[in-house]
Each structure stands twice: as C-alpha cells, then as structure tokens.
Amino acid sequence: MAEGGFFFQAFVYLTAAVVSVPIAKRIGLGSVLGYIIAGVVIGPFVMGLIGEEGQDVMHFAEFGVVMMLFLVGLELQPSLLWKLKGPILGMGGMQVGVSAALITTIALVFGLPWQTGLAIGLTLALSSTAIVLQTLNEKGLMKTTGGQNSFSVLLFQDIAVIPILAIMPLLAVSGQVAHHAGDDGHHVTTWVEGLPIFAQTGVVLGVVVAIIVAGQYLIGPAFRMIAKTRLRELFTAAALLLVIGIALLMTKVGLSPALGTFLAGVVLAQSEYRHELEIDIEPFKGLLLGLFFIAVGASIDFNLIANNPGLISQMVVALVVLKFVVLFAIGRFFKMGLDNNLVFSFGLAQGGEFAFVLFSFAIQSNVISTDIANPLIAVVVLSMIFTPLLMLLNEKIIQPRFGTTESSDREADAIEEKNQVIIAGFGRMGSTIGRFLQANGQTATYLDTNPDNVDLLRKMGLPVFYGDASRHDLLHAAGAHEAKLLIVAVDSPEKTQAVCEAAQKHFPHLEIMARTRSWTDSYEILDSGITDVYRETLDTSLRMAAEALEKLGHRKYQARRAIKTFRKHDERYLRELASMRHDQKQLISGARERIQDLESRMLAEIDNIGKDKDLGWDISTLLDEFGNRRDD
C-alpha cells in the first residue's frame, strides 16, 4: 500500500471518480472512459498516487461485474431468456468460434505453438461485459436489437469462460518453466479438484440445481422474514450476502461467479422482492464497477507500450478490426439492420476483463510465457479504453451519415400507391396516428427507415414502405407533389428537422404537422415556419393529470376545462419563448414569469367555476351518471 494507508487510497480513488466522470460525461465521452482516464492519471505512470496495490484493487473491483450480471438477471424473465436462446447459442457460439479460429491461425503464422495460439485465440475472442453493458445502458441502447444481441453474445462468452479454464491445463507447452499455484496469491482451491470428470460434472450440476431450487422455494420466505423486521440495513445486508454467497459457491466448484449470480438473478426475476433487491444492490454495483474501470486505467504498463509502440498499436488495431469484421459478418448473417449491426459490431470489438484471469491461469498452466502474455494484456486494456470512443464515433459520425439511410444495404422500396396523407415514421406515435386515420376511412402512405420494423409490419399486413423521408426524391415517389398533408412522426429531432426542410423546399404546398420531444426541439421547428408542432408527451401527460384531479375529488368538467385552459396558454407560451431561446437569461426569466402567470390564471378559473353552481351539472357528468344507472 502506498503512503497514506487505506484512507488515503480511498480518498484518491473517490476524488478521481468524482472529478473525472462529470467532465467526461459533459464532453460526451461517457462515464466508462471517464473512470479509465482517472485511473491513468492517478496511476504509477502519471501522478503515481497508486502503485502495485492497483492489481489487488482490480481483483476486488471485479466483483462489480458479478453484481452487474445479478441485476441483469433480475431484469430477465425466464421466458425472455428462453426466447434469446437462438442469439445466445447461434451468435455467441459463432462469434467465439470464428474469432478464436482466426486469432489462432494468425498466432501459428507467427510461429507460436498451436497450444499457445489456441489459448490466445480463446482469450482474445472474449469481450468486456462491464464496458459494453455499461455503455449500452448509458446510451439507452440495451433494449434495441443490437443491444439485445450484444447481451446474448456476452452471456455466451461468460459461460464459455468455464470450459476455456478447464482446457487450459491440457494445453501446457513442454519446455516452459513451471509456475506453481502457490506463486500467485489469487489461486483458489476448488471442491472438485482431483475428482474424476463425471464426479466434477455431478457436483457442478448439483450446485446449479441447488441455486435454482433455493431461489424458487427458500430465498423468498427468507427475505419475507427479514422484511418483517422493517430494518432496511438488514435487507441490504441480506442482498449482499446472497450475491457474495452465490459467487463464493460458484468459485468453489470452478465456475464463473458472474454466471452463478446471473442465474440467481433470473430465478428471482419473478420474486416480489426483485425491485427491492435492485435498489439495494445498484449503488454497490455502480461503485465497484467504477473502481474496476479506474483499476483498468491504472494497470496500463506505459513502459511496455513506450518500448514497443509500433507493435502494441498494430496489435490493438488488428484485434479491433478483426473482431469488428467477424461481428459485422455475423450480424449480416442473422439479418440485423445496419444501425443495430454497427452498434453490435463496434460494441463488442475489444478484449475483455476475463483476459486478465485467463492469461494469468495460462501462465500458471505453462501454456503462455510472461513475455507473450504481458504485451497481450496491454493490448486488451487499450482495446477496452478505445471502446467508448468507437461507440462515440459510431453515434456521432457513422450513424448520422450511413446508419439511417442504409444506402449500401437496401434500396428504398418502390412506392406505387398515392394518398392525400404521408406519414414519415411508423413507430410508437406514427402507428397510432395511422391506425386512427385508417379506422376513419383515411388511407395514408407510411415511410420508415428501420428495415427490421418495416419487414415486421409488412408481415402484419400494414402497407409500410422502407425509405428516408428526408430525401426529396423519395417524398416525390410517395406522392408528395399530389398529397395535402405530411405528418412527421420520426423519433429523432435531427431527422424531423431534415424531413421538414426537404418538404418545405421541394413541396411548399404541403401542410406539415411535426412531432417534437421538448420545447427546445419545438423552437427549431417553429423557427423554420412550421406552426403545427406537437410535443409527443403533452396529450398523455394532460390526460393523466386530469384523471389524477378526478381521483382527488374534482368534478370531471373541472378537470377537462382545466386541461383546455392549460393547453391554450402552454401553446401560446411556447411560441412566445421561441423568440427568446438564443438568450439563456431572458429565456429563464420569461419561462419563470409564464409559469407564475399560468398558475394564477388556473387558480382564478377554479375560483370562478366555484361561484357558478350551475356549471357543476355538465353534460359529460350527466351522461356518465345516466350510463351508470342504465348499467345498474
């Protein structure tokens, strides 16, 4: 331990996290890269505030990955996991197999023994569960096809660690110097060591079955008893005990603790205590993961990199490019759309944290020498560091230029029908608008840029056409020159602006109704001269608020009238504030004045309604009461 002891080291780590992560997020790099940069700065090669103990911290912080997979398991119903069996086995198995085979072949070309080459291939085929899942969650991509497929591959990789560890001793290369288990303080004696293969298999299966049975029949009643004490800290202790206990149990039978806690999470996904477990574990998971990323940054051997900059950089680029190509090809094979395939391929094109464990075990097993393993560990760390940058590159540069257009993958559909209405974007909002119009006898031409969505909707019998509505030639093919109305319901504010600009420039006769997310997006559209602007959550929010008033005892006519008043003034304020949006101080002042004005108007109206008792008998209330009597 460096000078200052435990408290000094804790202060250094926490300060690094608190300072670096907000800065990194502010400039768009994300928290993962912020933690890693913090580790580099406080590490032995920059400020030197932490030294050799960084490796011990790494082993401790890896428990954050275990907790993360437990929480992921809590989010997955067993039925959903069963649905993912195809991507897990198909995509995961293909990715590990193909990547390992290619890397092994390259190692053989460079003259390494096949045993060493295979160990390197299997190790570098794995990706970073911690970095990928954290980055996908931060960017809101976890629920997308690319995010789900990434998770499936990562889950297969976590499972694959078990057989990889099992075959490492079988790959021992004769002639290498033996490294005894006792030389490494992290060696763990398991219960299955020395047992025959069939006995080891039986013990492992028995432990897995015991976890499932306990999750179904024992853990629920145990947590129920703990909950009755009404001691929050005791419930938190029990949650940590559960995760640590399962991780320890899986380690004792030679399995991945991350896999064991994931399995426990899946078993408990239907428990009534699922949300309480999530809340209690989440802070520890986040803190330990942050510590893990800081330790990764601090563990980079810059002396090794400085002595071999060309070799290390070439190996990093080769690893990332090779895995990207393999992943992209697999995504195409499984018919993923370009947007999701880019997320999938960029996200997993790095080495993983299990490489530290596997390379260490390979050295102990006489499979890889230290002079080969050390540069490879540096390559893995650097590839992990570059992952958030690659995701940022994809998000900011590649996706806007190539992702949404699918220009190289799929041509726009030929559109034969012509209607008075064109709807751009057939997602959550566009589909509702379209179904409502169709139910009222008004047909429309639907355009969408998500090929997976288009194919699915076409199979359901909906006439949706693939194409980018910001292209004026596609709008013309959709009949914009004859149509009366363009409804822009796409999900991206930038794409909304692009579609509106194309329509205004080439089809000025079209009336345009535009979906926006917020006041800021609305200002942009209003500035372009479009007056029909619809914030996507406004109607639902007001309807929910009105029903909340009714549940609190207000009459229905009061709630409906309040909505009408609120909407009228809110729309007016939106247009008034649009002219102030370039002056932040004036905008804030104007918004504050209008909030106060709206409150006073609403309260005054409630006062006036209360003075006129006859208004209490509105037609909607009478109809409701009459209908209820008829039902009785």
Is residue 546 one of the residues assigned to a domain? no
Q: What is the DSSP letter of 559?
A: H
The answer to whether residues 592 and 476 belong to one domain is no
CB atoms within 10 A of CB 506: 15
Return all residues near 422 (Cβ < 8 A) that are at least 6 apart: 444, 445, 447, 469, 475, 478, 479, 480, 483, 485, 486, 487
Q: Beta-strand (E) ranges in 492-547?
A: 511-516, 532-535
Q: Residue 184's pLDDT is what?
A: 42
Highest mean pLDDT among 42-51, 61-70, 281-290, 367-376: 367-376
The answer to whether residues 78 and 165 belong to one domain is yes
How far, in Å, CA of 175 to CA of 464, rounded?
66
| CA atoms within 13 A of residue 358's CA, in its CB half-sphere | 32
Q: What is the largest CA-CA distance in the chain?
A: 100
Q: Residue 101's pLDDT is what?
A: 93
Q: How far is CA 197 from the centre of its chain?
A: 39
The answer to whether residues 259 and 117 belong to one domain is yes
**pLDDT one-digit tens code per residue, 559-588:** 777 888 787 887 777 777 777 766 677 777
For residue 415, pLDDT beyond 70: no
116-120, 238-242, 519-523: least confidently modelled range? 519-523
Highest mean pLDDT among 96-110, 431-445, 461-475, 608-622: 96-110
For residue 597, pLDDT beyond 60: yes
Mean pLDDT, range 208-230, rounded to an integer: 81
How far, in Å, CA of 210 to CA of 24, rounded?
44
Q: Residue 404's pLDDT is what?
A: 47
The percent of residues in the chain predicted with pLDDT above 70, rounded, is 80
The answer to whether residues 488 and 385 belong to one domain is no
Q: Residue 2's pLDDT is what?
A: 47
Q: Residue 166's pLDDT is what?
A: 67
For residue 262, pLDDT beyond 80: no
Q: Residue 103's pLDDT is what?
A: 93
The answer to whether residues 445 and 588 belong to one domain is no
Is residue 625 one of the residues assigned to a domain? no
For residue 81, pLDDT beyond 70: no
How far, in Å, CA of 208 to CA of 42, rounded?
41
- CATH number of the domain that residue 23 is part of: 1.20.1530.20
| Rounded to 5°, angle at Cα 269 from 265 and 272 | 120
**pLDDT one-digit tens code per residue, 306-339:** 888 888 889 999 999 999 999 999 988 888 878 8
- Domain range holding 184? 5-401
Mean pLDDT, range 200-220, rounded to an integer: 81
The answer to whether residues 36 and 127 belong to one domain is yes
Is residue 503 one of the residues assigned to a domain? yes
462: exposed, middle or buried (Cβ count in 10 Å: 0-12, 13-18, 19+) = middle
Is residue 159 one of the residues assigned to a domain? yes
Return all residues near 301 (Cβ < 8 A) that are at least 6 apart: 45, 374, 377, 378
Give this prediction's pTM.
0.54
> How sure is the predictor about 78, in pLDDT bands with cuts at 50, 70 and 90?
low
The answer to whether residues 519 and 560 belong to one domain is no
Return all residues near 215 (Cβ < 8 A) that are at least 6 apart: 264, 267, 268, 271
The answer to whether residues 380 and 436 belong to one domain is no
Output the six-digit token pair for 553.
Answer: 């005892």
How far, in Å, CA of 346 to CA of 354, rounded?
19
**pLDDT one-digit tens code per residue, 456-501:** 666 666 667 777 788 777 788 778 888 888 888 888 777 888 888 8
Q: Residue 629's pLDDT is what?
A: 47
Q: Residue 105's pLDDT is what?
A: 93
DSSP H stretches of helix in 168-231: 197-217, 219-228
Q: Residue 614's pLDDT is what?
A: 45
**pLDDT one-digit tens code per residue, 506-534:** 888 888 888 887 777 777 788 778 888 88
Q: How far is CA 310 from the centre of its chain?
A: 34
> How sure is the predictor about 56, in pLDDT bands with cuts at 50, 70 and 90?
low
The answer to whether residues 500 and 576 belong to one domain is no
> How sure is the predictor about 290, in pLDDT bands with cuts at 50, 70 and 90?
confident
Mean pLDDT, all residues of the chain: 76
Number of domains within the chain: 3
Domain boundary (536, 564, 581) is at: 536
- CATH number of the domain that residue 451 is part of: 3.40.50.720
- Taking alpha carbons only, the member of 206, 340, 215, 322 closest to residue 273 is 215
> How sure is the predictor about 413, in pLDDT bands with cuts at 50, 70 and 90?
very low
Domain boundary (483, 503, 536) is at: 536
For residues 46 and 299, the answer to whether their CB atoms sit within 8 Å is: no
Mean pLDDT, range 28-52, rounded to an integer: 76
Q: Residue 104's pLDDT is what?
A: 93
The answer to whether residues 145 and 57 belong to one domain is yes
> How sure is the predictor about 124, in pLDDT bands with cuts at 50, 70 and 90?
very high
For residue 267, pLDDT beyond 50: yes
Is residue 477 one of the residues assigned to a domain? yes
> Which helix (DSSP H) or strand (DSSP E) does residue 158 occupy?
helix 145-167
Is residue 632 one of the residues assigned to a domain? no
For residue 77, pLDDT beyond 90: no
How far, in Å, CA of 349 to CA of 125, rounded?
9
Distances (CA, A) of 225 to 218, 229, 269: 11, 7, 19
The answer to whether residues 117 and 202 belong to one domain is yes
Q: Residue 55's pLDDT is what?
A: 56
Is residue 543 one of the residues assigned to a domain? no
How far, in Å, CA of 36 to CA of 70, rounded?
23
Q: Residue 323's pLDDT is what?
A: 93
Is residue 336 one of the residues assigned to a domain? yes
Q: In what order do the strands lie in the sheet with 511-516?
A: 464-466, 444-448, 421-424, 485-488, 511-516, 532-535
The answer to whether residues 323 and 198 belong to one domain is yes
For residue 620, pLDDT beyond 80: no
Indicate the length of the chain as a whole number.
632
Domain boundary (401, 434, 458) is at: 401
**pLDDT one-digit tens code per residue, 395-410:** 778 877 765 444 434 4
